[in-house]
Structure 1
Amino acid sequence: MRPSTALRSLALAVALASSACAGPSDRPAGAAEVTAPRRIVTLGGPVTEAVFALGAGDRVVGVDLSSVYPESAAALPRVGYYRQFSAEGVLGLRPDLVIASDAAGPTTALEQLRAAGVHLERLPAGEDLDAARGNITRIAAAIGRPDAAAAVLADLDAELAEVDRLRARATSRPRVLFVYARGPGRLLVAGRDTGGAELVRLAAADNAGDALTGMKPWSAEAVVAAAPDVVVLPTRGLESLGGVPGLLALPGLAETPAGRDRRVVAVDDLKLLGFGPRVGQGLRELVLALHPEVRPGADP
């Protein structure tokens, strides 16, 4: 679909503004020349976190609805949810760089940004620690601050080293059912090849949903047969169900060891599931929640 006349006019204005905003290169002398963007829009919470962690938060002029951290980002103009954002809303902010999660869309909106001459940086998909490190490096290069990645990655590696120390002390191996919920009518279980399954593995636990591949709905009978010791889900998902009582009221869950013991762990959606700069912090919290024996003050 061709852009409207209004959208074409806005695109021209953006292109002119971007030319006027060109800044000096942040790369050392002799390196390939790169223009450091001065007006950045981020689409995806982990993307926004990374830009701020890399010290370029003052150049961010707009974010999507999933960008709730840090607080200064949450106060910026919103352009819709990253999976369904508005091209007009983005272009109205006159960005010279848009950094987007690979899941950002719709395709027509992305095409409109390219047609407007806006530099669009799309990050490859991936839900593991290698993807987290790679995206931090890519974002640092895109914003003209490649050297800033080293400090952010050093912090991440220090946090992961602490996770390794905790895992080495763990003596339990719980079966974890990792679920995604947005109200009682939408409950999905994390099977193999998912971010949830990877987080369970990294937290020294077994994935009770391994009979599945991907994120899938599961019958009450299958949930009971999986016999999870713990149910893990995002905080906002638990809230959408009405808390732990609402979760355990769903078919099958009350009949599992997790349901009988009311062992439910809520994790910060963005800190852990986004595989962004804070994933090490989120993993530490998950390991402590799943392995009481490694908590401070626990018997050796």
Structure 2
Amino acid sequence: MTTRPIARAISTAVAALLALALTGCATSSAAETSTGAEVQCPGSETAFDRLALADDARAIDGPSTACLADTSLPIVASDEASAVPLTVTGVDGVEVTVDSTERILPLDITGTIAATVFSLGLGDQVVGRDSSTGFAEAADLPEVTQEGHTLSAEAVLALDPTVVITDTTLGPRDALAQLRDAGVPVVIVTKERSVENVGELVDQVAAALGVTERAELLKDAIGTDLDRVTTAIDAAIPTDPADRPRMIFLYVRGSANVYYLFGEESGADSLIEAVGGVDVAGEIGWEGMRPVTAEALVQAAPDVVLVMTEGLASAGGVDGLLERLPALAATPAGEHRRIIDMADTEILGFGPRTPVVVDALARAVYAPGTLETPADDAKTGTDG
């Protein structure tokens, strides 16, 4: 079993890869391809348990895009005011005093912390964003990151935040030290992301803002929606594990010729399990993320490969990816061209939209016939 220190190290490495994945890429909405072409989500208005599911999810042909028909955030209704001043201890062990939540600045590599603050009903108190915070509610906020995901202390200080909440996935570290030296309360929350720890992140963010009642409401709402989604998915999962789709998550960066296989404790394993797939990276003992090898792909023999939309574009679409990784082309997923992509800032972000992300991915896995899949040439972008 992976120990917590190892899990934290893996989480840090995954965050570094996500930073590379998102650097230089425009933030995509959930309903757009990497080229900005709109991806329709027909069938999204139909409950999952009413969809025409494939008889055999392991034998489906062709790629598909998992997208959210509704990209808005769930927001709790509560009159609870922030219980400030308060003192909270971050996951870094630093005790922080927060005197005001009037000007909140939530920052991380996936935009998950900002989404959590907005879903807690405090979006009108957020004064800025990172480049990964791409949901519509935050679109007009000024960015405080430069050149992808480099945090600018000067840009942060110019916004005069009363509290900064981050998880250290944005660098450089000196920027956070500079903020603390300037007297800005900086609360560090967990950087780990999975289906299972959504509630933990909600609690930590809410604790920094003094809104524990709102946290309970949000966790209840997320839990209810996730239970509904997973109950419907569970009914579609074959009883025999041997009949379940064997899945892997590949981090792809064609511009750097980098291809990583995400395994246990990466968050990808949690997502795969949530949709009833077999996490074959974990099955072959693959922990965290490492450069993929031909041997690993042959051993894994996946039926389905999950990728980020921008990453797939950087490799030249499905055809380009299979050409760059001949061993993948020889797997069942390659032979059936079963590559499922999802927006970079959604697929491993987790947070308040976890239920709809899981639902969208399950639809792409079990009922891709309900989706309009963009042609490969629409998925081909530059290596930028």
Q: Which of the five TM-score ranges fits, normalised by the shorter chain?
A: 0.7 to 0.9
Counterpart residue number, 1:218: 292
SS class of match (1:138): helix
1:60-107 Cα deviation digits (max 9, x unpaired): 1111111111x1313211111685311111111111111112423322
Counterpart residue number, 2:28: none
Q: Distance in 2 between matches of 1:289 and 1:159?
A: 19
Q: How does 1:190-229 map onto structure 2 within 5 Å?
A: 190-210=262-282, 211=284, 212-229=286-303
Deviates more, 1:279-288 or 1:88-97: 279-288
Q: 1:284 deviation in Å?
A: 1.5
Give 2:213's match in structure 1, choosing from 125, 128, 147: 147
Q: 1:237 deviation in Å?
A: 1.5
Q: Distance in 1 between matches of 2:81 and 2:271?
A: 38
Counterpart residue number, 2:49: none
Q: Distance in 2 between matches of 1:54 and 1:91?
A: 24
Q: 1:208 deviation in Å?
A: 2.4
Give 1:261's match in structure 2, choosing from 336, 346, 351: 336
1:226-246 Cα deviation digits (max 9, x unpaired): 211001112222222222222
Q: 1:292 deviation in Å?
A: 3.6
Q: Distance in 2 between matches of 1:272 and 1:153?
A: 20
Counterpart residue number, 1:288: 363
Q: Distance in 2 between matches of 1:136 and 1:270?
A: 18
Give 2:319's match in structure 1, choosing from 216, 238, 245: 245
**Alpha-carbon contact 2:98-2:162 (below 8 Å) kept:** no
**Alpha-carbon contact 1:83-1:106 (below 8 Å) kept:** no
Give 2:232's match in structure 1, choosing from 166, 182, 186: 166
Q: Distance in 2 between matches of 1:73 and 1:254?
A: 40
Q: 1:135 deviation in Å?
A: 1.2
Q: Structure 1: 5+ residue runs without aligned partners?
A: 1-23, 296-300
Change (3 A) 1:34 1:64: closer
Q: Distance in 2 between matches of 1:57 and 1:256?
A: 45
Q: Distance in 1 between matches of 2:82 and 2:367?
A: 47
Counterpart residue number, 2:132: 66
Counterpart residue number, 2:17: none
Amino-acid identity (%): 36
1:135-162 Cα deviation digits (max 9, x unpaired): 1122123223322222322221122112
SS class of match (2:121): coil
1:253-285 Cα deviation digits (max 9, x unpaired): 211111111111112333331121111111112
1:179-215 Cα deviation digits (max 9, x unpaired): 1112251211112221111211222111222232111
TM-score (norm 2): 0.64
Aligned residue pair count:
269
SS class of match (1:231): strand
Higher Cα Rg, which structure: 1
Q: Structure 2: 5+ residue runs without aligned partners?
A: 1-79, 89-96, 371-384
SS class of match (2:127): strand
Q: 1:34 deviation in Å?
A: 6.7
**Alpha-carbon contact 2:195-2:350 (below 8 Å) kept:** yes
Counterpart residue number, 2:197: 131
Higher relative contact order (CA 8 A, sep 6+): 2
Q: Distance in 2 between matches of 1:223 and 1:290?
A: 20
Counterpart residue number, 1:16: none
Are positions 1:101 and 2:132 aligned together?
no
Change (3 A) 1:208 1:250: farther
Change (3 A) 1:218 1:270: same
Counterpart residue number, 1:76: 141
Counterpart residue number, 2:83: 27
TM-score (norm 1): 0.81
Deviates more, 1:125-134 or 1:108-117: 125-134
Give 1:121's match in structure 2, choosing from 187, 190, 199: 187
Question: Over the residues paired in the alignment, what is the CA RMSD in angstroms?
Answer: 2.7
Q: 1:125 deviation in Å?
A: 2.7
**Alpha-carbon contact 1:137-1:146 (below 8 Å) kept:** yes
